[in-house]
Amino acid sequence: MILSQLSQYITEHRRVSVQDMAHHFDADTDALRAMLEVLERKGRVRKLPVGGLCSSSGCSKCGLSPPELYEPIER
């Protein structure tokens, strides 16, 4: 997998988790994070802030880790 493939996948799917990308590309999440950092520095993608995924009444301390989401940056 190369950076352009990763960037294209994010563009096509709009908001994608690191886990989804790891599954799609059959890649290690740490390797993906390194590639995503490069794409962030190049201004191609952005990491979305964590939060807002729990119920509207706030965190219920369910123990689940929030997903790391990325989206493309429109040019």
- The Cβ-side half-sphere exposure at 32, using a 13 Å CA radius, reads 24
Provide the pLDDT for residue 66.
77
Is residue 46 within a helix (H) or strand (E), and if so which, with residue range?
strand 45-47
**Contact in structure between 66 and 53 (CB atoms under 8 Å):** yes
The CATH T-level fold of domain 3-72 is: Arc Repressor Mutant, subunit A (1.10.10)
> Phi/psi of residue 72, each to 5°?
-75, 155
Provide the pLDDT for residue 75.
76
Provide the pLDDT for residue 51.
64
Provide the pLDDT for residue 6.
96
What residues of the chain score a pLDDT lower than 70? 51-64
Q: Give the predicted TM-score (pTM) of the model.
A: 0.79
Provide the pLDDT for residue 74.
86
